Structure 1
Amino acid sequence: MSVHFTGAIPAGRGRRWLQFASPQAFYGPAGALASLCLSVSLLLAAAGLYIGFFIAPTDAQQGDAYRIIFVHVPAAWLSMVIYVAMAFWSAVGLVVNTRLSAMMASALAPTGALFTLLALWTGALWGKPTWGAWWVWDARLTSELLLLFLYLGFIALQAAIDDKRRADRAGALLALVGVVNIPVIYFSVKWWNTLHQGASVSVASAPTIATPMLLGMLVMALAMWAYAAGAALVRLRCIILEREGNSAWVARLAAGGAR
């Protein structure tokens, strides 16, 4: 199937954005965006942790042990958001057959796995004083663990196939199949009777936590979001250089760096 544009794209607008679909064109801007995102994430993380550990009040029931939420909850959010983004770019790569989309999906996977592992680890640290156990086979915990296996499976599958185009397609299919686990994670506390508490922050209702707690969580979520974008862009640049290593523009880039 081929895709055709039926109308002319205004010069200086649409064409200017479409040019960044090329790995060569996006390589430079990706570096600038990565530096910006990582710098912003550092500042936001410092602000979020300060709010969470020094401004937010002590919880009446859990004491100071609850403060793990300022890392745990944003990490859990990002673990799901990154997987959806990875599945989205995988789908774009399959449908439109763009190289950069498949590279972006590959670049997102390790960061998504990192946040999933962080969510599970901090959840265990929170669960011990709250539930009296490091781990229980709770529906949300189990589906989050499955998410980690999906990330690792995506990475392992792509690494096991030498042909990068075939590896991209195989990984994309796995990502699209695994995306059904995301609503399971999100709605598990509503669908089943679990130990895991319900959401304290929801778009459908007012927050059930104090304003400083909410502010600290949201700032930390933005910090992790910025870090995820920056880390993925850094990794994307490495993937571009690896896959485009035989092209003339990479040779010119290497020659310029050597001088």
Structure 2
Amino acid sequence: MMITLYHAHHSTCSQKVRIALAEKGLEFESKLVDLASKGQLEPEYLKINPNGVVPTLVHDGQPIIDSSVICEYLDEVCPEPPLSGRDAVSRARVRAWMRFLEEVPTYAVRVPSFNRAFLNRFDGLSSEEFVQQQAGPRPLRKHFYLKMSEKGFDKDAVQESVDQLTLTCQRMQRALEKGPWLAGESFSLADVVAAPLIDRTHDLGMSWIWDEDYPLVAGWFDRLQQRPAYAKAMYPGARLSETHQLRALLAEAEQETA
């Protein structure tokens, strides 16, 4: 299989595709996209991904976009080991998890990520300059940036994010009472999609969300980190704390949610 992956080290959506590739044992040509300099908005990249986001997978010359779609595509073209379930009920359970994870925690984790790691990109910008330079050019996430502004997300947005991540952990805890993985006995795309979101939450110093009340989530995260594919996909330099001086900012986390 001739696979090229356009991705970014710390992009959670890129990470889940890298996990899926590693679980399948698939090698790929790596094409890093510099998000800080808006490389995902360059005309050449927009030709293969008009959404202006990462990742994009190109397989035998055909671009496949949207990270969850890419994961499902990989499971279809390389069915072993299966990650979508072996029967209709299992596949439905996996898809339901994927849709929930895309709609709730995927958005929620971006709020503390931007507040604690990316705001320095907007230093010195006025509100008008922020809209023009950051929100305006984005075909898919313009309104996300407009909700944020150059000063970051406000306390209400941060609390909403925490509430959504807590809801995610509540649902994970209930699901994990029935099996070691989110969709049951077998590791699946549900776990692949959840993995970078929980990892990012932990990396942001927010594992207190599950530490006391949702111990099965902590156990799931421990098992996840022991998988060889996970270590391969989450290589050194893939986490924000390793590249964005997050540790100096973690003290602000308690103030945000106080």
Q: Shorter-chain TM-score: which interval?
A: 0.3 to 0.5
Q: Greater relative contact order: 1 or 2 (C-alpha under 8 angstroms, separation 6 or more)? A: 1
Task: Give the TM-score normalised by structure 2.
Answer: 0.35
Query: Which one has the largest radius of gyration?
Result: 1
Question: Which of the two has greater strand per residue?
Answer: 2
Q: TM-score, normalised by structure 1?
A: 0.35
